[in-house]
Amino acid sequence: MKRSILCVVILLVALCAVACGPKREATEEPTVTPTTATVTATPTVEESTPTPTPTEVPFTPTPTEEVINNDGVPEDSGCFRIKLSGNKEDHFLTTRFCYIESEKYFLLLDKDLDLPGDFTKQMDMLVDALEEVTGLSYIPDYKPDGMDCSTVHFGYDPWREMEYNNKIPIYIFVDREGQNLISYASNMHAVFISDELTSEEVWNSIPSFRDNPYRRMNFIDYYPIAHELAHTITLRHGWYTKIMTEGSADYFAEKALKSLSDKSTDFAESLSHQMFLTAVRDNITPQNAEKMFTADYLNLSHAERGDEYTLGRMICKYLAETYGDSFFKDYAKAVSEEGFPMEAGASGLWFNYSEANAIRQAEVFKSLFGDDVFTKFGEWYQKQR
Ligand SMILES: [Zn+2]
């Protein structure tokens, strides 16, 4: 669970005028990252596997191979296109803002990232796997609105001139001030802060990072990436309760990585380092399961979050076992047809449905999976413990 509970889903309202409120909060929120989640995350394993000293000199691209169509691109623009070699052994060190375009997404890259040459290949596989396990297309009939809101860029946007069309903008940032910035996602985009992809030089310039080797895996941890991309893909098909939003992202991230675990050691390691809990602090019973669902952990502060991930993931697991793999696709279709609104919580930023809408979502569940779905889930949950 190193970072799985750190992610947030942000309701990014495309209109800049509306987004000005969330802008400040998005910048501030990462600074209150629940440090306990990081500190307590698999400490034994992490501390026993310190980051190895890199033996390779950063790969320098040849212009014909890796840097393309960039005549006249200003130095401070992110519209500088690169292409990775495809070989895992190669490294591409980003010395300026740039991007990579793939079939289904754009990677929008900060400076000082150290990318393995096969990174795009791995990301391609991950997006494909997420579509497969969710049963949802990354972009079926949805066209994201403009992306000209600096909320998503921690205050700067060198990619503002980019045209994303229907592809997913995936931002990868370096936490160069050591602020413990966190990854997040919306229906439009996904934003990652990657420890493993941060260049050795920048990493070693931040004492709190350099002196805590457990922070940095010796593989690329695709779990948080899978979790956030699962958000983007599922949210492009509907709005869900907090439990179902976070639970489905965890459930599908795990499932996608399982399906890829024989494709690369990074995927296998990402999966094996996750700790998937099977119980929440409240005892879920046949009697209270529906009430827990509709309460939706609305009153949890950010630092106390966590149970919604576990409970939601267990609900997904139960539904998949009982109704088949299309359960989420059916649920997404039903809530979409019901016309659930995008609804922000008190902060205007976090994805919190009101109880009234959570109750409506429970009714959707019953119409899809039977009136006794919550009772049956409570019974199943008790058997898992
Ligand atoms: Zn999440």
Q: Model confidence over 294-303: pLDDT tens digits?
A: 988 876 665 4
What's the pLDDT score for residue 119? 96
What's the pLDDT score for residue 159? 87
- Predicted confidence band at 304 (pLDDT cuts at 50, 70, 90)? low
- Predicted confidence band at 18 (pLDDT cuts at 50, 70, 90)? very low
What's the pLDDT score for residue 367? 97
Mean pLDDT of 7-27: 32
Least confident stretch, 43-47, 97-101, 165-169, 241-245: 43-47
- Predicted confidence band at 102 (pLDDT cuts at 50, 70, 90)? very high
Residue 150 has pLDDT above 70, yes or no: no
What's the pLDDT score for residue 89? 87
Q: How far is the CA of 250 from the centre of ligand 1 (A)?
A: 7
Helix-, strand-, coil-residue percentages of the chain, each rounded to 5: 45, 10, 45
Residue 287 has pLDDT above 90, yes or no: yes
Least confident stretch, 235-249, 252-266, 331-345, 360-374: 331-345
Does residue 146 or residue 111 have the better pLDDT?
Answer: 111
Cα gap 6→95, rounded to integer Å: 28
- Predicted confidence band at 156 (pLDDT cuts at 50, 70, 90)? confident
- Predicted confidence band at 157 (pLDDT cuts at 50, 70, 90)? confident
First-residue to last-residue Cα distance in the chain: 19
What's the pLDDT score for residue 48? 34
Q: How far is the CA of 10 from the centre of ligand 1 (A)?
A: 9
Mean pLDDT of 363-384: 96
What's the pLDDT score for residue 340? 74
Does residue 47 or residue 361 have the better pLDDT?
Answer: 361
Q: How far is the CA of 229 from the centre of ligand 1 (A)?
A: 9
Cβ 169 vs Cβ 108: under 8 Å: yes
What's the pLDDT score for residue 269? 96
Cβ 107 vs Cβ 84: under 8 Å: no
What's the pLDDT score for residue 71? 78
What's the pLDDT score for residue 67? 61
Q: How far is the CA of 69 from the centre of ligand 1 (A)?
A: 36
Cα gap 261→308, rounded to integer Å: 26
- Predicted confidence band at 59 (pLDDT cuts at 50, 70, 90)? very low
- Predicted confidence band at 140 (pLDDT cuts at 50, 70, 90)? low
Q: Say what angle helices 119-134 and 242-260 make with each other, to 10 degrees.
A: 120
Least confident stretch, 15-19, 152-156, 189-193, 225-229: 15-19
Residue 210 has pLDDT above 70, yes or no: yes
Q: How far is the CA of 185 from the centre of ligand 1 (A)?
A: 7
What's the pLDDT score for residue 26? 31
Cβ 42 vs Cβ 2: under 8 Å: yes
Mean pLDDT of 87-94: 90
Q: How far is the CA of 325 from the centre of ligand 1 (A)?
A: 21
Q: How far is the CA of 71 from the centre of ligand 1 (A)?
A: 39
Q: How far is the CA of 227 from the centre of ligand 1 (A)?
A: 6
Q: How far is the CA of 242 from the centre of ligand 1 (A)?
A: 9
Average pLDDT of the chain to the nearest whole number: 79
Largest CA distance in the chain: 66
Residue 149 has pLDDT above 50, yes or no: no
What's the pLDDT score for residue 143? 58
Q: How far is the CA of 228 from the centre of ligand 1 (A)?
A: 6
Residue 260 has pLDDT above 50, yes or no: yes
Q: How far is the CA of 12 from the centre of ligand 1 (A)?
A: 14
Q: How far is the CA of 8 from the centre of ligand 1 (A)?
A: 5
Residue 25 has pLDDT above 50, yes or no: no
Q: How far is the CA of 252 from the centre of ligand 1 (A)?
A: 11
Mean pLDDT of 359-376: 96
Q: For residue 292, give the nearest of 234, 383, 377 by alpha carbon.
A: 377
Q: How far is the CA of 226 from the centre of ligand 1 (A)?
A: 10
Mark the residues whose beta carbon lies below 5 A from ion ligand 1: 7, 246, 249
* Tokens 């307590």, residue located: 40
Query: Any bridge partners for residue 170, and if so which?
Result: 107, 190
Cβ 234 vs Cβ 252: under 8 Å: yes
Q: How far is the CA of 62 from the centre of ligand 1 (A)?
A: 38
* Neighbouring residues of 14: CB distance < 8 A, sequence distance ≥ 6: 144, 145, 146, 147, 149, 188
* Tokens 């960039």, residue located: 70
Residues 272, 208, 48: CA angle, nearest 5 degrees: 35
What's the pLDDT score for residue 141? 66
Cα gap 99→161, rounded to integer Å: 12
